[in-house]
Structure 1
Amino acid sequence: MSVELDLISLKVSNKRIAIIGGGAAGFFAAISAKQHEPEASVTIYEKSNKLLAKVKVSGGGRCNVTHACFEKSALSKFYPRGGKQLRKAFDQFYTQDTVDWFTNRGVELKVESDNRMFPTTDNSQTIIDTLMEECKRLGIRIALGSGVSQILRQPNLLSLTINNQELLFDKVIVATGGSPKTQGFDWIKALGHTIQDPVPSLFTFNMPKEKIKALMGLSVPNATVRVQKTKLMQSGPLLITHWGMSGPAILKTSAWGARLLSDLGYQFAIHVNWLGNLTEADFRAKIDDHMQQYGKRLIRNKNPFLLPQRLWDYLIEKVAIDSDKPWLEIGKKGVNKLLNVLLNDQYEVSGKTTFKEEFVTCGGISLAEVDFKTMESRVCSGLYFAGEVLDIDGITGGFNFQAAWTTGFIAGKHSE
C-alpha cells in the first residue's frame, strides 16, 4: 500500500500530472508544473519512504544549492556530459533564476571562496523545508512508497503501473535520478528510449599500496592531478584520506574521465603536482632564491613552498633527501629529486570509492531523444525528463543541483 500525504485539498481538474521521483529535480518539476497550470492535479510518486535524500546530505549536510557562475556559456562548460544541451536550457532557467527563486521564498544564499553557494543557515533542512512548504502551499500531493514499474502509451494518455495499480495521466515527468546499473532504466527503455550505459562519476581514488594514506586528513589548497597516458588533468584542492585521495582535484578528474577510467578498470597511475601549476623554471628560480636567503637553515625546518609540514616531511623522505642538512648542501641531485617529487609525484590507483547518498552517474537517457526546449521525449509524447536520469552530469561544486533545478523547471513548465 502506498502512503499518501495529502498536503492540501485539491481542486478537481481534468489534467493529471505525475512526477516520478521525490528528489531535487522531481520537486522542482512538480512545483513548476503546478505554478504554470494551477488547476492541474500534480502528484509526486516516490518509491522509498524518504524525500530529497541527496539534498539532505549534499555539501556535508549544508546543501550546495548551485555555483556562482552567472554567465550561461561559461556555466555549461562545467558539465562533462550535457553541457551543449544545457546551454540552451539555461536560457529558460539558470543560476540567477535559482538564486531569485530561493530568495523570493526567504532563503538567502551565500557565496564561498570556491564559488559554491549555500544557504546562509548552513543547513540543508532549510532547502528541504522550503520545497516542502511550496508543495503544501500549491496543493501538490506526495505519495511515498509508490514505485512505478511500467509506463504504457494509451490514446492521448500515459498509463503508470504503481504498486500493481494502473493509473492514467496526461503528462508524466521522470525524475528518478541515476541508476548504477543499466537494468534500472529497463522500464524507460521499453518505450523505445536509448540508454547510455551508466558508470560512476565524482568518485575518489583508492590507493591501497600507497604509504601516503598515513597522512589522512591532510589537504593542500591547489594541486594538479594528471592521469598517466591520458589527457586527463585537473587542478584544485586535494585531500588525503585513509583510502587514498579525494577533494575537488580528484573528483573533477573522475567526472571528466568517468568512461575512460571505467574502461581502465579503475587501475591506473596519477601524477601529482603538489604546487598546482608551478613550472620547472619557476621551481628552480624559487629554490635558487630560497638558498640565497636561507641556505644555512635545515631543509626540514624551512619549507620554501609552504606545504603542510607532514606532507613536506613525507615527500623529502620519499626521495631520500637528508632533511637534517642545510639547504646549501642539497646539491644538484637533491634539487632534481625535490623537483620531481613536488611537480611530478606518482601514485598507483586501484579502485574507487563512491558515497551512496551522493552517488552521481555518467549515463542515462540519450540526450538526442529529448527536446531541451521542453524536456519532452522525442520518442513518447507526454513523457518528460528532469535531473540525473538524463545523460547529464556536472563536476563537483553545485552544478548537478543546478541541472536539476533547470531541467525540472522546464519539464514542469511545458505541457504541449
Structure 2
Amino acid sequence: MRARAVGAKTGIVDGMKVRDPVTPERPDALVIGGGAAGVFGALALAEARPGARVVVLERAREALGKVRISGGGRCNVTHHLFDPALLAQGYPRGAKALRGPLSRFGPRETVAWFAARGVALKTEPDGRMFPVTDRSQTIVACLLEAARNAGVEVRTQTAVTAVAQAPGGFRVTLKGGEGIHSPLLLLATGSSPQGHRWAEALGHTVVPPVPSLFTFNVTDPHLAPLAGVSVPDARVRLEGTKLEQRGPLLLTHWGFSGPAVLKLSAWGARELHARGYQVALRVAWVPEHPEALRERLRAFKADAPRKLVRAHTPLPLPARLWAALTARAGVEETRRWAELSNRDLGRLADELGAGRFWVTGKGVFKEEFVTCGGVALGEVDFKTMASRRVPGLYLAGEVLDIDGVTGGFNFQNAWTTGYLAGRAMAEALAEGGANVGAVTSWSTSSQAL
C-alpha cells in the first residue's frame, strides 16, 4: 500500500522523497514522535481501524532511533516477567498505574505480536528478551513494514514547532509554517523537553524530568586499576537514606556500574539530583550480616594464621579486588592473618560490609538515556491512555512520568501504552464515524483556523 502524503511540503516518507499535493487528504489521527510508543500506537490504531488516515511526525532523519541503538544494537524488546504484578516492580515511577495496562498488553502479548509478524524473541538468563537475530534492525524493519502494510505514513525530517487545540481537534504547526489539523492526537515525544512544553501548553502538569538510569563516578586510587572487575552479588546504599539495591556490581574506569548501581540510580533519581550527584555510597561487597562476616574472618585467621592477608581471602571475591579492599582497610602488604588484632578484623569487616565511597557525579548507561518525570499520571486514563483534561489527546511512552530499570522495562512501557492508546483512538474514530472532527489543513499563507 502506498504511503499517503500530508501537508504541502517536500518530505521523506519511508525513506523516499515525495512532494505532497497542494490539497492533501486530511488525517484522522496524528502522532507526534516516531519512537517505539508512537509507531506502535499508530500501528495499533491503523490495524484496528483499516482505512483510517494515520500520520506519524518524526523530526529525526530516521524513525525508531532509540530502538536502533538499544541493547548495544540488539534491542532489548521486553522482559520475561509475564506476571503483571511482578513486572510492575521494575518501574520506580508508574508501577501502580501500569498494573492494569500490563495485564491487557504485557510481555506475553508483545512476544505474540512480533511472532505473528515473523520475528521470534529469545530469553537470556537474566530475563531480558532480544530478537533471535541479535540485531535491532530486525525489530525496526518489522515495525516499519507493519506500518506500510497498515497504511500508516511515517514522515521523517518533519519538525513540529507548535501544538494547540483548535475547532474540531488539534492544530499542529510544522517548521516552515505549514500545518495539519486532526481530531485526534497522540503525544509520544519521549523525554523531549519540547514534548513536555506542548503537554503543558495543552493544560497538563509536567513533573520536572531528571536523569533516572546512570552509573556513578567514583575516584578512588585503590579501585582505579580494577576496571572490568565485577562481583555477582553486592548491596549498595545511599548514605543517610533508606535507598539501597542488591545485585551484580561492576568496576569501571570512571567508578561503579552494573545492575545494582543502575537500579539504585533509578529509585534514587530525585534524591541524587537534589544532592547534585555528590553523595556517600556504602558498598557491601559481601552482603552478609556484619557479625557473620566478622566470624568468617576470625575463623579464617584461626585456620590460616601464616598466610598473607592480601594474598588469601575466605570470601568469594576476585583476588585483585580483595587486595584493594584490604589495602583500603589499612592492612599492610606483608601482614599475615595471625598478626591481625580484633580491631583490625573489625576494620576489615566494615570495609567489606559497608565500604564508604564518594560519588562525584553521574555517567551515562551505554547509549541509552532514561529520565523520570513527565506528564502527571493522575491526569491520564490508563484504560485508554486518553488525557483527562483534553478531549481527543492521548499520551504514551516516556512523555509520561513513568520510567523502568534496565532489562526491557522501558520498551514494554512503550509497547503497552502505545497499543492501548492506538486501540482507544480507533474506537473513538468508530464512534465518531467517517467525518469525526471536521478536519482541515492550514498554513500561515492560508486562512488560519
> For structure 1, which segment, 318-327 or 385-394, has the greater mean C-alpha deviation from structure 2 after superposition?
318-327
**1:292, distance to aligned residue in structure 2 (A):** 4.8
- Quote the residue 1:4 is aligned against: 12
Distance in structure 1 (CA, Å) of the matches to 2:404 and 2:347: 37
Distance in structure 1 (CA, Å) of the matches to 2:289 and 2:65: 43
- Quote the residue 2:337 is aligned against: 327
Distance in structure 2 (CA, Å) of the matches to 1:205 and 1:364: 24
Q: CA RMSD in A?
A: 2.2
- Quote the residue 1:160 is aligned against: 172
- Are the equivalent residues in 1 in contact too, given 2:61–2:156 (CA < 8 A)? yes
| Structure 2: segments with no counterpart, 5+ residues | 1-8, 19-23, 429-449
2:356 counterpart of 1:309: no
Where do 1:306-385 residues align within 5 Å?
306-354=316-364, 357-385=367-395
Larger radius of gyration: 2
2:258 counterpart of 1:247: yes
**1:125, distance to aligned residue in structure 2 (A):** 1.6
Where do 1:62-77 residues align within 5 Å?
62-77=74-89
Q: Which amino acid aligns with 2:392?
A: G
Distance in structure 2 (CA, Å) of the matches to 1:141 and 1:343: 56
CA deviation map 1:285-339 (0-9, x unaligned): 3334434544443323322212112211111111121344443333322221220
Distance 1:289 1:126, change over 3 A: farther
- Are the equivalent residues in 2 in contact too, given 1:48–1:146 (CA < 8 A)? yes
Distance 1:70 1:333, change over 3 A: same
- Quote the residue 1:127 is aligned against: 139
**1:213, distance to aligned residue in structure 2 (A):** 2.9
- Quote the residue 2:295 is aligned against: 285
Among 237, 257, 263, the residue aligned to 2:248: 237
Distance 1:355 1:75, change over 3 A: closer
**1:32, distance to aligned residue in structure 2 (A):** 0.6
Distance in structure 2 (CA, Å) of the matches to 1:328 and 1:240: 31
Among 133, 155, 162, the residue aligned to 1:150: 162
Among 71, 87, 93, the residue aligned to 2:99: 87
Q: Which amino acid aligns with 1:3?
A: G
- Quote the residue 2:199 is aligned against: 188
- Quote the residue 1:176 is aligned against: 189
Distance in structure 1 (CA, Å) of the matches to 2:73 and 2:229: 21
Where do 1:28-107 residues align within 5 Å?
28-107=40-119
2:214 counterpart of 1:203: yes
Distance in structure 1 (CA, Å) of the matches to 2:14 and 2:236: 50
- Are the equivalent residues in 1 in contact too, given 2:69–2:75 (CA < 8 A)? yes
User: Percent identity between the aligned chains?
Assistant: 45
Distance 1:313 1:2, change over 3 A: farther
- Quote the residue 1:388 is aligned against: 398
Q: Which amino acid aligns with 1:104?
A: A
- Are the equivalent residues in 1 in contact too, given 2:93–2:402 (CA < 8 A)? yes
CA deviation map 1:2-26 (0-9, x unaligned): 52315899xx987621111111111
> For structure 1, which segment, 265-274 or 155-164, has the greater mean C-alpha deviation from structure 2 after superposition?
155-164
SS in 2 for 1:78: coil
Q: In the comparison of the two structures, how many residue pairs are matched?
A: 411
SS in 2 for 1:199: strand
Distance in structure 1 (CA, Å) of the matches to 2:244 and 2:360: 18
Distance in structure 1 (CA, Å) of the matches to 2:154 and 2:387: 24
Distance 1:329 1:151, change over 3 A: same
CA deviation map 1:14-61 (0-9, x unaligned): 762111111111111111111111110112110111321211221222
SS in 1 for 2:185: strand
Distance in structure 1 (CA, Å) of the matches to 2:104 and 2:309: 57
Distance in structure 1 (CA, Å) of the matches to 2:365 and 2:371: 12
TM-score of the superposed pair, with normalisation by structure 1:
0.93
Q: Which amino acid aligns with 2:293?
A: F
2:423 counterpart of 1:410: no
- Are the equivalent residues in 2 in contact too, given 1:17–1:43 (CA < 8 A)? yes
Distance in structure 2 (CA, Å) of the matches to 1:271 and 1:329: 27
- Quote the residue 2:444 is aligned against: none
TM-score of the superposed pair, with normalisation by structure 2:
0.86
- Are the equivalent residues in 1 in contact too, given 2:311–2:323 (CA < 8 A)? no
- Are the equivalent residues in 1 in contact too, given 2:189–2:195 (CA < 8 A)? no
SS in 2 for 1:91: helix
Distance in structure 2 (CA, Å) of the matches to 1:352 and 1:184: 25
- Are the equivalent residues in 2 in contact too, given 1:7–1:139 (CA < 8 A)? no
2:235 counterpart of 1:227: no
| Structure 1: segments with no counterpart, 5+ residues | none
Q: Which amino acid aligns with 1:376?
A: A
**1:107, distance to aligned residue in structure 2 (A):** 2.0
Distance in structure 1 (CA, Å) of the matches to 2:130 and 2:92: 23
**1:366, distance to aligned residue in structure 2 (A):** 1.1
- Quote the residue 1:214 is aligned against: 225
